[in-house]
Chain A
């Protein structure tokens, strides 16, 4: 379980003005959960993510991963094995010359036995559907494929938690869909705990819990339905609703009301066919 207690973070700008990027943030993430954090640029969500595996050491407050407190450089290696991280730019996190070398990079770092590596690489690449591309160099892959193999590279190290910092923001719609599907399968089939940071509303609708951040504060927290019921609040911080919910609103303005709130395409279809 990940516990974040009263976490604060601030940094100084060049003119000595200090800016608070996190303000008294409290979050609990249970094993097996799919949690999404959503917010605009500068909402502090990336800073929060970097706290989770010791890339930033807490200035104030606590980050506790399975009873291990992130305090200093001494225990960050243990924490980095527990919390795997995928970043935004698919190119800038690809270390190896090919997919198999990239997956091997993380394994080499943790001192994984050489003779078992190939087996583990095949397993991890298979999990993200990249098993057939092991010998491909990154410039011969699409953005979605690169991001999937980045997830595979992290999975190979068998982390307990998977943190993804805007993994889809540089991808085309097709790549975005691929990545989200991989994450959903991992969460459902392998009970992988996932923390997805994003600014696309449509990606958070499948999660167990949504956390909305704005200017370093958590402004909303709850299931997707609970969060999207707070339409006013979301609009006040300029966050859009998922496409299905927008459509529901438009239809409601024409005087046709659905029985239930819709968030996903599937919900929408379910409501629409009942109208006729």
Chain B
């Protein structure tokens, strides 16, 4: 049952967005994130809405899949809205006992909610259109210039890809250990939260031990196949910026700059 879990939520489609270089997508998402906190009037929100809708349309990802990604973030969104609504100073429009709501608070809460909404939609589009391994490649690509400042770009990417590779293996193993412990009479379902948490110990300890054995064997297998860090290493899938990538980065940089200018000018 838990074996079929997919990592991330990557959906394969043959679309323009899917074909973009992962670095372009990461950069564009980052610019979008910065941009979203610079906007503050209705016309700019409309613009962001159009931009998001256009990107989603081009990615061919069904809209429902994207909205589903919002679900886990909903409590956070709700909390932000509430906090902004109650704790912003300004013109009081509602007052009861210790609760005061200000006009500014309502505006801010509304804007914050919308911002988070767009933020999640856009970033989940990144993981929906990019496979985990490509994403790792992209992160390595973006971090490479930082090697000069001793950022271990290759090692970070290697660790991430190995972690991704072993998630299904370890889930499989957890499943086996759980069954083995159940067969010995372990009970994972009853009792209060503390008791149930405690009952996880007999799963975690064997899981950790086997993970360390795996790590040891994997390290040896990697060495036997000539792995010695990124020294003299070539890449199977070389990242290449294409014309569309350059155009996209240009557009997003331009949008960010324009938003910044508007923010200062207002």
Judged by a CB distance under 8 angstroms, whether A55 is at the interface is: yes
Binding site for A on B (CB under 8 A): 3, 132-133, 161-162, 164-165, 168-169, 172, 213-214, 217-218, 220-228, 232-238
- Size category of the A interface is 35 or more
CA of A117 to CA of B233 in the docked complex: distance in angstroms?
13
16 contacts between A and B (CB under 8 A): A80-B225, A92-B213, A94-B165, A95-B222, A96-B165, A97-B133, A101-B133, A101-B236, A107-B236, A108-B234, A111-B234, A113-B234, A114-B237, A117-B234, A138-B168, A154-B225
Residues 60-92 (chain A) with a chain B CB within 8 angstroms: 77, 80-81, 84-85, 87, 89, 91-92
Q: With contacts A97-B132, A117-B236, A138-B169 known, is A92 near B217, CB below 8 A?
A: yes
The answer to whether B233 touches A109 (Cβ under 8 A) is yes
A135 CB to closest chain B CB (Å) equals 11
CA of A107 to CA of B233 in the docked complex: distance in angstroms?
9
A95 CB to closest chain B CB (Å) equals 6
What are the interface flags for A97-125 relative to B under an 8 Å C-beta threshold, 1 for contact and 0 otherwise? 10011001111111111100100000000
Judged by a CB distance under 8 angstroms, whether A126 is at the interface is: no
Q: With contacts A91-B169, A97-B132 known, is A77 near B220, CB below 8 A?
A: no
Scoring A92, A94, A117 by chain B CB atoms within 10 A of each residue's CB, the highest score goes to A92
Q: Chain A: which residue is nearest B158 at the CB level?
A: A95
B239 CB to closest chain A CB (Å) equals 11
The answer to whether B214 touches A87 (Cβ under 8 A) is no
Chain B residues positioned under 8 Å from A97 (CB to CB): 132-133, 161, 164-165
Q: Chain A: which residue is nearest B133 at the CB level?
A: A97
A163 CB to closest chain B CB (Å) equals 9
Judged by a CB distance under 8 angstroms, whether A93 is at the interface is: yes
Judged by a CB distance under 8 angstroms, whether A32 is at the interface is: no
Judged by a CB distance under 8 angstroms, whether A168 is at the interface is: no
CA of A104 to CA of B161 in the docked complex: distance in angstroms?
14
Chain B residues positioned under 8 Å from A137 (CB to CB): 165, 168
Judged by a CB distance under 8 angstroms, whether A153 is at the interface is: yes
Judged by a CB distance under 8 angstroms, whether A174 is at the interface is: no
